[in-house]
Amino acid sequence: MKIAWSNFSLDFSKKTYIMGILNVTPDSFSGDGLSDKSLSIKKAFKMIEDGADIIDIGGESTRPGSEPVSSEEEIRRAIPVIEALAKDIKAPISIDTYKAEVARRALDAGASIVNDISGLRFDPEMPKVVSEYKVPVVLMHIKGNPKTMQKEPVYEALIPEIMDYLRISIRLALKFGIAEDKIIIDPGIGFGKTFDHNLEIISRLHEFTLLEKPILIGPSRKAFIGKILNGAPASERLEGTAAAVAISIFNGANIIRVHDVKEMRKVAKVADAIKRESIN
């Protein structure tokens, strides 16, 4: 299974890829948001040095309870950083947005992946933009929206319902001409999920391989890890994130979206070696 576009190619038979999180927001749940362009650029270069394969840039916090920001504000935050990085880095840049206009501006600025938390559902123009630019897209599952998603989410059958949502998003993508080999899926850890839901998703992640698409997962510093670790704040969830990452890889994840790139690169290398029974 491969994802190929422009000058980049991801071959999932060889390794798990690391997506480094670059939040250019003042209100990130993890406390790592940056509103200074120079600091954001410096952090991106550090993540690449530490082993990031992809840099995922987001200009709007989608933490539980967050208020949406305008497209204009999201563009103001993210596009200057993308423009600066695209000139100097070889790693692909992903734009973390559910807004079509933000995605378009980011792709024009040098981004080459769209990471949509809504699975193409929140903005009817988004499938058209992704199709027009012929770039890979991450289709994530979410129940509700960031403001309401953690208000007692209920499922009759967790994994089948998430898979059905993703199947519909995949069909939507194909309907608009997005190529089969440019679709990545994400079950959406923490996006309309309870503590038990998150654990079940990671434990049963292998079931999502039935959709025959690369799987991205983002457990990094999430609240469920803090709960397991007796209320540890986001800044103290490194080891818990490592455990979730290793298990996710063993259960079928192809891309891991993380804050702590250097440490998770090492975790992924060991997990890959065990899973593949070899060291590359």
Q: Quick check: is 257 catalytic?
A: yes
Give CA–CA dist 46/132, Å, rounded. 32
Q: Which long-range contacts (CB under 8 A, 24 or more apart) does 106-112 make?
A: 106/57, 106/78, 106/79, 106/82, 107/133, 107/135, 109/79, 109/82, 109/83, 110/82, 110/83, 110/85, 110/86, 111/57, 111/82, 111/86, 111/135, 112/5, 112/6, 112/8, 112/136
Contacts of 42 (CB under 8 A, 6+ apart): none
Q: Which of 43, 143, 237, 257 is catalytic?
A: 257
Q: 144-162 burial by CB neighbour count: b if 16+ within 10 A, else e?
A: ebbeebbeebeeeebbeeb
Element (H, E) at 115: strand 113-116
Q: Which of 43, 121, 182, 222 is catalytic?
A: 222
CA angle, 118 as apex, 75 and 140 as ends, to 5°? 110
Q: Quick check: is 222 catalytic?
A: yes
Give the active site residues.
Answer: 222, 257
